[in-house]
A and B are shown apart, each in its own frame.
Chain A
């Protein structure tokens, strides 16, 4: 029998090891798997490479993981936001490495990683500082730069509905990087607001087919990052 359901966020993230590469879903707080991130803070794995669009805000969620000195490197498109204090401080102090990637290149690198494509050419970043040192090639009189697919040991993703096979539905713009990160990681760990019986998700509407997901944990009432930031909360 296939049953990917795990009892707690703590159990779900137990295997994340020091030095692991971890993709973390979310665009700002939309889709940020805050309970899984907090479980990873409790678990304590260090020297992580985190692949995510942003670097969190305030002192909770992704920002707290970084503040807890568990992240050695981020691969990211937009590491500063209105309330991000942690990353800028560590970055300016030289305590965290940043690989800055255009957002669409980040998405395509993840997609390619999950699809078995080792590298691809893109027009984004040509003639800018972000293409320096990268191989380039001209196709049909237009220049493109070579970018490499990204894979990860783990992905932490937030979904709305899941079943024990790992089929997923998302909510609104919380979908963002979730589906592609599930495909590009050895172990996709998903927190879902609800878990339903197989068959209750219409196969025509499945967004992430279960084959891309390894663990599912129910978090019925996830915390809201912006609310925690407003309340000046910090984790742990």
Chain B
């Protein structure tokens, strides 16, 4: 951008990286066209495969170059400068790599390549290689273009990770770039966001992105099937892949929850944050797809639904990329990525894949051509004349309608009615419940997008809104998970079925009510905002959740005879039910330990204002907090973190405090966030977690050491006899005033007036100390005589009498050492949260077994 010469820039790295970027894009493009052409002429297939491998090689080249630059601190490059520095721990180098958007796109691309190469090999010479890999290559074209960073007319395409610092808009004004001869040796980067220096952050993103990447497999098959017009065969091959996706994406999401619980001060593991939602929804939809695929495999049918769900899951991944990367969420999310100016590009990608899907759904040639023409017309009109929002809505609406028409006109449908007492009917229903809940979450999350489209001003919904809406779905799904296991495909004898599930149901009803009645109805809930309907909902979810656990346990032990390899589904369902039960109990029975006294005036404002949750702890003082006595011991600084040590005591049998444990929550003065963030500390017990985080504290470390014996600023108080002055450590009561003269004596005489204020100072241990400051007038001159209470470190000066209203004025100053350090913190108990984590492990284990079993079965079949 400027012509200044720079020495010792290692330009070769950027050139090499850019060569790889271009190669990766060209390779993907070539592979796409060659695969597409080989559907007509088989001789292109070799070229297509080679081009895909070249693309893969180039992406690995990009990643390798970036790691080389990060490891060797090439700070003349923007990405290295912005995401790493020399002082950071090199074990976080992986986090540096995917902290930025370019890096995370690369991670996604990388996993797509890994999956693509495996799939290419698996499908080689079969009829599915060409359609599936064409879709794969097209997705790679889009992802590779995200790194190009070139301008096409006025549109910027992609964001290049090999940009030099001096060429980057945000950094080119840095002072050391303004003169020639930059010396990179002296340069240090901005470093990694300290929030990401957490072990979860080294494993959560790659797992999540592998999950995102693997939604591409069922998508590619479904699109390929629409293209090939072979709607059933692909499901056999895609089934193990789909369950792999369910497993990995599920683990990735739960890891995110674990990270939030451990490192963020959400006060929980799930906050319905847009970023969390946008990874949850594709999972819900792919789970639904996995189930309709099983229906299709065992009984046939559900073809349209399976295609719809498999395609929908990937489109939702793209949509969530758009949501979190385009900056559209703005105020709605704490951790959405910043806008890199790729909004238009991301929208275009989402729309392109919707377009391809709808186009392939249309079987009629004339219809299809007119759809293509109309879409292109709308696109050009929008680009040339504006009205983008209206056109977008017209296009989306008509595409939706065409999908509906295509379903009726072209899709093979079941002739006979489903049996009511059949597994497929209820499993299908379960899939619909998942889809519907996913759509509702998407709708809530998309409110900022709706505002953009319609110019409305709706605020994003609160956590409670999500919880309330999801509750009935959770109850329904638990019932279905429990009952459907005992239904056979096609037809089941109702009597036998009801008899079988009645055991589990009665057991869960007894057990569930025995737990939930004392939990929810007899003990008064501390949270007043809970109404009876919520309590009924909680109890219903507890009962149905237990039913899902018991029924699947019964199925696993009695029908499958405990044979692990066949029981993936039963085990995974037990795990899922446990996750929901754990989430329910730990959230609904979350106890606030640190509770302030309720201000009646504020309580009158309504339930929203009645949840005082913070408590003030002064250094050295011990306070009662729930069953604990807590004491704030002090703080220490380590790097950018300030640790606050809080000791917890329990009363032993003789009611004497006994040390229990120490928690050290911290405040991080995070230079990257522009504001400091609090990181909680949690004590884990088998049946509960005690969770503490700081909401307000003095981060200044100097206050402790300053002149301790000096007095601070004096404060003036106006009052009558009987009034009270508050110091930081005592109450000062104006007991009485004594005068050496009566009023008349003073007025007659010209002698000295001496008024003594009798002040009683009561400290927190109820000890009294007397103070006698004097107000003296000698020949109309006021000479006050101060008094100091050494025990309390308080100086009192009585300096004015207002004869009009009889008030007196006293100033009080305290020794600096009186202002003890304090923290304001919140503390919660999460009961039985380990049920949730155990449920996660069981669910992952069960799904893992299902994946292995599906692969084994598939191999036996073919």
Whether A and B are associated in the same complex: the answer reads no
